[in-house]
Amino acid sequence: MIFAYARVSTQDQNLEMQLDTFSKYGVDEIFQEKISGAKKDRPQLEKMIGKLRKGDKVVVYKLDRISRSTKHLIELSELFAEKEVDFVSIQDQIDTSTPMGRFFFRTMASIAELERDIIRDRTKAGLESARARGRVGGRPKADKKDVEKALKLYDSQTMTVDEIVDMTGVSRATIYRAVKERKQQA
């Protein structure tokens, strides 16, 4: 069987381009996730791996869709080799059913990690430069009075959390974090 794994990092992104490419490739089953590549726990990837049998093929749109690092990519490559499963990255033109494909796969994995490291370094340098000029990054903190109001509404149990979010402008995560912090302090 030919299995495909499609992933995007956020709920706002869509998988359509990857899915369209897979339909042209003729895959039998597609596993999809909207989750950060940095997350170790990716249920659909694990589910796909559990289904793999000798002679199967795993297809991805690009290498960075399946792995979080070169090390992880190599581990997956070794797992696929152990299970006697071929691996194809369509955009990177890699097919591990050939010796050149296996070599190219390892080379591309290293280059992909280098690219991510360069981006991370540029981002870090940009943040440091901004801080040196007095800018502070990140999301603005919720107003304490709004959080207190949200907690009072939460405690009253007369409104849903979504209604409290709409009324106060305080995010769900902030409300739940404040409730948790209050419990820990008690």
Q: Which residues are catalytic?
A: 9
Q: Is the dihedral of CA 107, 113, 116, 121 positive or negative?
A: negative
Whose structure tokens read 């955009």?
A: 91
Supply 146's token pair: 């709004």
Say if CB 58 and CB 85 are below 8 A apart: yes
User: How would you list the strands of the sheet with 2-8, edge to edge?
Assistant: 29-34, 2-8, 57-60, 86-89, 94-95
Whose structure tokens read 């409730």?
A: 179
Supply 124's token pair: 């870090």
